[in-house]
Amino acid sequence: MFSRWISQTGARMISSIPAPSNISSKFAVAAGLTVGAGTFFASSMTTCEAQAPSPARCTASQFKDLLVNARWTDLHNLDLSHLATRLIVKTDEELQDMHARPTAHALNSKQVVFVTPAASWVKWGMTTASSSSKAVSGLEFVGWPNDGIDWAHKEGLSASIFVWEDPDLANGNKRTALWDFVFDVLLPECKASAATFRPLGGTSLQKAWWVVDDPEMNSMNAKFVRLSQTLRDEVAAVPFSATGMVDKSVGVREVLEASLEKNNDVALKVRQALKNMFYLDILFAGDGFTRNVQGDKLAQELIITTKRLSDLMDLETIDLGKV
């Protein structure tokens, strides 16, 4: 009887202790009490974990200031999850016009655009930003091939990081640049807007494009999407390189024509069309990261619908100098 009373009373005493309000819900106590023949045991375990404060939200303006001053640790400790970036390569005059007339320019001339989460630039800063050319190391970091960098250098172009607050990133919609995303999301989305899309900045529609001038264009574009999806594994496995594989003339119509003839490498034709239509360049790996020519995994890579500069929230630009 006495041991039963001790057990009941002890349990009531333990349960009546108010839990502190400043510790996490992972609360438990392990204790044992033996009195004569009876044993009182109350079990739980306490870990008084202090709630770690959330990192402070970084604005696009703060990001620019910290990156320009190479304060990488400070950037690493901030919340950058809502900031997107795009490395833009233009003449100085074109960059000035983009700043002066943001309603007349978009992030690129395609339906979609590759962007880099702002947090990836911390890795760039800690590993490659000490390079003699920030522009060149930046282009390598976001997946530019060597011939593209050489072209930009010969043309005397400059590079700038555009950074803004992106609602898709803020809401957790990452749109990661995966092959499955290309086939299952990007192609159907872009097919739906093909007939009405017009690039900004005075750029004309390229020839290697969707079919937009044929009475059967809807069925032809839909057939291209289905064919690409069917061949997705073969397309992703194409050993794509600049040597003999890039064909700037291949669009939807050319892929469909090739599919009607025997002995054509239709998967290669699809891969060529994807490069021309969406800038899925020769270093595109389809695993959500950019690559350099050595195959090293570098920056995180997202694909979003291209946007007018005037629609980018709190847009800031960071000059990386001449390529």
Reported as a single tens digit per residue, the pLDDT across 293-322 is 888 899 999 999 999 999 999 999 999 999
Give the chain's domain count: 3
> Does a structural domain hold residue 50?
no
d(CA 261, CA 265): 10
Is the same domain home to 67 and 149? yes
What is the per-residue pLDDT across 2-51, written as a single tens digit (0 to 9) for each?
444 444 444 444 444 444 444 444 334 333 434 444 444 444 444 445 66
Tell me: pLDDT of 120 over 80. yes
> Does a structural domain hold residue 48?
no
d(CA 50, CA 23): 6
| Whole-structure pTM value | 0.79
Residue 105 lies in domain: 57-174+308-323
- Residue of 206, 41, 58 lying closest to 118 (CA atoms): 58
> Does a structural domain hold residue 129?
yes
pLDDT at position 171: 79
pLDDT at position 121: 96
Give the rounded percent of residues in the chain with a pLDDT score beyond 90. 67
> Does a structural domain hold residue 231?
yes
d(CA 48, CA 25): 9
> Does a structural domain hold residue 23?
yes
Radius of gyration of the chain (CA): 28
pLDDT at position 322: 96
Tell me if 318 sits within 8 A of 134, measured CB to CB: no
Determine whether 276 is exposed, middle or buried from the number of CB atoms within 10 Å of its CB (0-12, 13-18, 19+): buried
Tell me: pLDDT of 165 over 60. yes
d(CA 317, CA 320): 10
Tell me: pLDDT of 255 over 80. yes
d(CA 47, CA 136): 50
pLDDT at position 131: 67
Is the same domain home to 161 and 187? no
